[in-house]
Structure 1
Amino acid sequence: MGFDFLARPELPAPRVSESQAEHILATYYKMTARAVSLGSQQDKNFVVTADGGDVLGVLKIANPVFTRTELLAQDAAAAHLAAAEPNLRICVPLPNAAGETLTAVPDLADGTAYVRLLRFLPGGTLQDSGYLSDSAVAGLGEVAGRVSRALAEFSHPGLARTLQWDLRFGSQVVDRLARHVGDADLRRRLVEAGARAGSQLAALDVGLPRQAVHLDLTDANVVVSVGTEPPRPDGVIDFGDLTTTWAVSELAIGAASVLGHPGARPTSILPAVRAFHALRPLTSTEIAAVWPMIELRAAVLIVSGAQQLALDPDNAYLTDQSAEEVQMFELATSVPAAVMTGVLAADLDLSTPSSAVPASAPLLAMTPEDAHTLDLSTTADVYDDAAELSVAVEEAAAAAALRQGARWVVTRYGEPRLSRSPMLSQDRPSVVATGVTVWTADAVELTAPWDGSLATGDDGSVTLSGEGFEMILTGVDEITAAAVHAGQRLGRAQGRFDVSVRPADAPPAPSFTSVELAPGWLACTRDPRPLLGLAPLTRTAGEDLLARRDASFAPVQEFYYRRPPQIERGRRHFLMSTDVRCYLDMVNNVTVLGHAHPRIADAAARQLRRLNTNSRFNYRVVVEFSERLARLLPEPLDTVFLVNSGSEASDLAIRLAVAATGRRDVVAVREAYHGWTYGTDAVSTSIADNPNALATRPDWVHTVDSPNSFRGKYRGVDSWRYAPDAVARIETLTATGRAPAAFICESVYGNAGGMALPDGYLNQLYAAVRACGGLAISDEVQVGYGRLGDWFWGFEQQQAVPDIVSVAKSTGNGYPLGAVITSRAVADAFAREGYFFSSTGGSPLSCAIGLTVLDVLAEERLQDNARRVGAHLKARLAALGERHPLVGTVHGFGLYLGVELVRDRETLAPATRETAAICDRMLELGVVIQPTGDHQNILKTKPPLCIDIEAADFYVDTLDRVLTEGW
């Protein structure tokens, strides 16, 4: 029999200094090396490095209480695992000078100790990662699954030991060591949690398989790969806790460590459970054991750390771990085990149907004809005209249904209600109803659906207990008795009351829970509708909309995010998903006024009721819109073409220049994007959109250097040199007989994240192209319409006037509408080549929308808002660079900004992988943001112009959190 913690519960770490460790290396391994102490709780570990700094291994001084047989078992298990799982890196012992892997060293302060030099695995551990992404957590679960699968066939005499980390003894360990915890309230909670989890596990014990387990596959003992993006868990160290116990402990202990990381939530463990289950399937009993084990593991860690700190008060490793362990415990105890078991079962598609609610008599005998079921989901019509998305929507919708003749209005059990979701929140909102709300036209008498007893809560609620269930009512008065029979009067309700039902042994449920915890809480509650005389609503599994999309929608039409939320509603600078999450929209420069602007909706509906046809007909609105557009531009830009999109607008701009000059060559700026048509794709050279862009340009396209003042050929004060170089390129083309028809350029460099062009750049280039008889095209598709704040058009920032302007996106606030504005002379030259029209670009509907956009821009002073909020936002984003080296710079003006992320501020190595991961984490915290630039390392920050200071601060605060915690 090996070590028994219950018989000897004090294990101070061996007292071995760094000089003694170096002496051991020299004496037994014939190695001259440096030994630096590592963190450890009960053993003593040293990292061993050569004079040049190369890591040679880890010297492990085992606690003297552990026997030789136990240590040999650990070495044998490591060898067994290395053979069974060759793709896992395993920390195996290296031989000493005598060829042995286990060395007995006498004459230490604590007597003889066994020493091993373990192979060093480069890459670092998950403990060093801060926030753990889903892929990292899944990697941890995969490693645990592979280890569990391999060790199922391993046995050894050294496995017979009683460890404090073995959760079979966890409640005893908590009881015995809790006295070392100084905080009285925490100590009480630890003891209660230990007893509760221990009792739950004892009830499951007979159904839990046992085998050899590593027992410490935590973030600290799983090593990540070297040289892969992103790094993935692929190595295992420290077999010191090897024993025989419940097999599922391997998963639970690893999953528990996830909860100690920044940004963790109870459901953060799901990717690990999923990955483990895929390799080593879990039984229903094991699923039920996972959360009590996690709760017990957290309690054991805290009490053990407190005891060890009393034994070894100078051990910094113990102090460093305490905050993470407390967080682990708080999360583990924040959700009842029954609820998390339901969440796990649902995630693994192993849920079982819930039993129906029995009812000998109806609580309220509704008829389907007289009852209106209220839809409060994201797509419900009740939100369309609501002044704000709040609980008031529920009351207003119910009142409207009652006015229209319904006798009762009932909400849906288990439905996520958009009315409950806050606009700005980094947390998952509690929006899923665990009961129903009923509104009545008249006062109603409620009757008991079964025999039972009544109890009144402090909050005025009434609970009927009986038949294995509890029904909770709020908003009911005139309660008749403390005990009732089925069919007997319970009380009276008028106006509104709430009903929820749960099995008697289920934990009390909150009225609303988050979408991610809903499967667990709904497994612990029941639909009350049958008690009202109504059929229960069937909750259908969410459809795989992406699979349907791929089946009919060409996949080359990409979408944001790998696992995108389903967005079905927008309002102002927010987007709402079917999971009832509100996201701050920081990328949608298409909807310049904001999403679902009522003025746009009204204008569109009004025009559709009157007329919508093509622009060959004679109607007023096309004239009014064209006049308004022309008045926004300087002379001689007075003639308007209307099209459907920005691509079409810039394509037409090129065609106008070719027609007016009789030439075919065009000069474009590298790294730019102008559109998807043949012409605009030809002049687009962004390798982010087309990796082969530069190599596949037609011969009529000629490029000049990207005027990137941050990471380009010329930087900072030298950026003025871009213009003379580009001018020389135009002059060379002219001298060789290829004088360009046009020079096309975004007036603010959109693909580079809203970067400003060098001062005077456009004036010099415009003069050069005009000198050779060509025309200047300003692509204002992304930047125009007041987004810059101080300027309505981007070319105004350069104090230049182009010959042709292309604009879209903002023009229709999301409706397909674009425009090209030029001089009458250029337009007439184009007319000589034939006619032009756009069926819907100049339609009555598009023009009515275009006019309304201009009206709202002016009336709501959105350009001024872009200036004011944009300046605040840029200042706050720039301040992040003072604390986070990843922030290289902030580009842009107004609400056309780009946060460029770099791995090194000297080399400017782009943080491409980090930017993608940061965008995913920002989505998790409620912000939609995307990368841009040729290196995809710039956060393109182009929200609707209606965004306010509060939302801008939320964006920066969320980004600050991600940069602090990790991604």
Structure 2
Amino acid sequence: MLSAVAVDLFGVAAEVTPLPGERHANARLDVGGRPRYLLKVYSADTGESDLALQNALLVWLSDAGTTTLAASGTAVVDGKSRTAHLLDWVDGREWSQAGPPEPARFAALGAAVARLDRALVGFEHSELDRAYRWNPLQATELLAMLSLVEETDRPFVAAALQRFGELLPDLLELPQQAIHNDANENNVIVADDGSIAGIIDLGDVVRAPRVCGLAVAVAYAQLGVSDPVSAACQVVSGYHQESPLTAAELQLLPELVDARLAMSITNAAEQRAADPDNRYLSISQPAIRALISDLAAEPRPLLAARYRDACGYRAVAAERNVVTWLRSAACDPAPMLRTDLSTADVHCIDWTARGPAELQMQHGADRVAAAIDAQVRATGSDIALGRYREDRLVYRSEAFAGQRGRRSVHMAIDVFTADGEPVFAPLDGVVTAVDYRPADCDYGGVLLLEHRCGDGTPFWLLVGHLSEASTTELRPGDAVRRGERIGWTGWAPENGGWPPHIHVQLFTTLLGRSTDLPGAVRPDEVDVWESISPNPNLILRAPEPTAVDPVRSAADIEARRRTNLSTALSLSYAEPLHIVAGEGAELIDADGRRYLDLVNNVCHVGHCHPRVVEALSAQAAVLNTNTRYLHTGITEFARRLAATFPDPLNVVLLTNSGSEANDLALRLARTATSREHALVLDWAYHGNLSSLIEISPYKFNRAGGTGPGERVRICPVPDPYRGEFGGDGPRYAAEVEAQCAELPPAAFIHESMPGCAGQLELADGYLEAAYAAVREAGGLCIADEVQCGFGRVGTHMWAFEAHGVVPDVVTLGKPIGNGHPIGAVVTTPQVARRFVTGMEYFNTFAGNPVSCAVGLAVLDAVEDERLMANAATVGAHFKDRLSALAAHHEVIGDVRGRGLFLGVELVSDRRRKEPDAAAARRVVEEAKREGVLLSTDGPADNVLKIKPPVVLTVDQADRAVAVLDRAFREG
């Protein structure tokens, strides 16, 4: 039947593969042995209004470039007129058939739903508000079908739909739009590379808040996965990165997911009753029931907190108010024990490797008590604290079943003292719950108090391991006053065998629970739980540090970057590296693997150079302040730095970065000349400030850029390999002369060896001719030496010297501090004098004593270790070896550079010099796998850039060449 429709209606002779569908007939049409179209034949009972909606949607999305409608028409099938659509086929597999998804695929799904939602913004049609069983805003109407639902499913369905009815007024406050409403496991198409190729089937499109459509994707993405909550968080995060979600949307999302699952169960039950032979109607039901079971122990407020955290919000919105108040002078907690921790000699017991619970299992309570007592006596302390977050308890509570058996992180502070010690309320409050649980969680007597911030925000304090008698005096609802006794510490037999102590834990939300809240959580959930359960030392006020840095995996760090850092901040490599240390020309990852670093010119004299580290720490221990005071560091550093430049460059202005230096250089030139315009080289990059993006074609002429501003003129880069005039520098400089004649500039600014333009050496004679033209027109010449200076070129301290010129202004950054934030402008007395206009130049931190000590240490290292000579020797050897590779690998079009500033341009055709960016990407990834770090640059991103720390050795250069040789061969 479908084959005939394809031929008769659309003239497509194809091999037909039927696809599942709820109401309509769907098929893949293969033409020439490859999938070409999706044929959709609507059921005969499809209303005209529904068909009109589908047609309008397909036209709208075709115009938006989201979906392509090839053709439409009407055919007679089984004696009935039926509408058919022919859609271009989306290559890939259904989500349900694409194999176990990685976290990145879940995030990609969220992003794809967000993009589709964005494409649907503005679409209008009367049928968007139709009465429809899958319309989320009409979910409560399905309660009438509850009798059709299997008895085991009814409690969940009834509760979910009733809760949905309660939140509906809040949902209706959100903006509404057309949403896809059915991103299920059979409507999401996954490409071979794991990306989302498309989301199909527009039959369920309705008008609703966009979070309802996200809830559909979240619900179905969790089916059949081992950790559904993590999967959901990835989907939500992916959506948020593409189209930011509001706090109100995230708060509603868990209940909307429940409502969708309830709708699926109810609609399937109703449809099965009408069409018991349609297997498609039950295709998701077993997985949905399994998911509901998995999520049963997850409090919905906790899910909302996890979704907020996945989007970079604090997991609990109230946490900020609570913590701010607890830190304020208005909060004055009383000591919880007779010993005031704020003044006592407190010893923090650091159980990093083995927690007391593990010791107890191995040695018994007496041995644990003895171990604690021994540590306290050894320090002469009055009291001991179980260190917050670092005792790594083995969590055994049933409250959150998914955490059983996992090593976990303690969110409380355990204060060890004598048994029978009185315990006092730190603040006024009300008793929320009282419990005695000597075996369950080993909490003994438990008291939960509610307190209020100054603005009325509630928070709770859980005190555990109290004596049994402590739980007989107070009842829920009782008021307690600050400093009032609320119990006593329990002795071992009544608190699970623990040494006497109190468990102190704060909560910003109770998650719908009582005293069964967990005291320890999974390490990968600490960020969420720190918001739910902040550091109890806000109450205890112990002087010892009680918090420690979390241990995060590379995946954790990458996920956190996506939420709390701008996604405009890029990462290197397809699988980013987790770097934890550096030494010389090597970086070391979290697993201890060493990588040869060929791209980090920032750490000029080597990662963590001992001399630089010592200078930094020694000066930081003495003084660090601004430059309004006299200190010898700034004058000595300026004198030593100026001495490395030719006359008349002897005036130094210090900054915090190369970007600041270039911005200041422009100010100098504009002040000195009373002009605004700047001449720049094509593909130049001078920094990330707005003033520098304006003069950086590498930025303003690429993605996201807005083109050159009114104050910039672009000159062709004198590229000896690709340039129009080869290595004839003066011919390129003729353009500079022409620009100066048309509009005299304030400055001509250039990198002495352009990096982003492809690690270039400027054509011979170019700078000499260009400088002459600029100066004839009254402009200044600025040499940007941020990347290529400081002896890197080997033959000279500064790269401009190789061209026989002396600039009016030179800018420095990065390498002069070996990665410490320091930069500089070096200029002539004449230019410096014109900058004295009455407006002072003050930069709070530039030239501070620590930065100057670092700068001096770097100068010493360059001089004493003869690193400029090393750059010349190793660089020449490296370049020769790379050039020799070109005889064996046609992909190498050019090897260029000077010293340890080298570039290898890759091409697919040497004669035509066709850039081969794909080869460059592949070589970078192959080299990384073998422990050599490279990067790419150039207008086509096809140049391997090599600018390592200048401590690189000949042996390391040979290792790099061997790795590159293998990488080129594998291509």
TM-score, with structure 2 as normaliser:
0.48
TM-score, with structure 1 as normaliser:
0.48
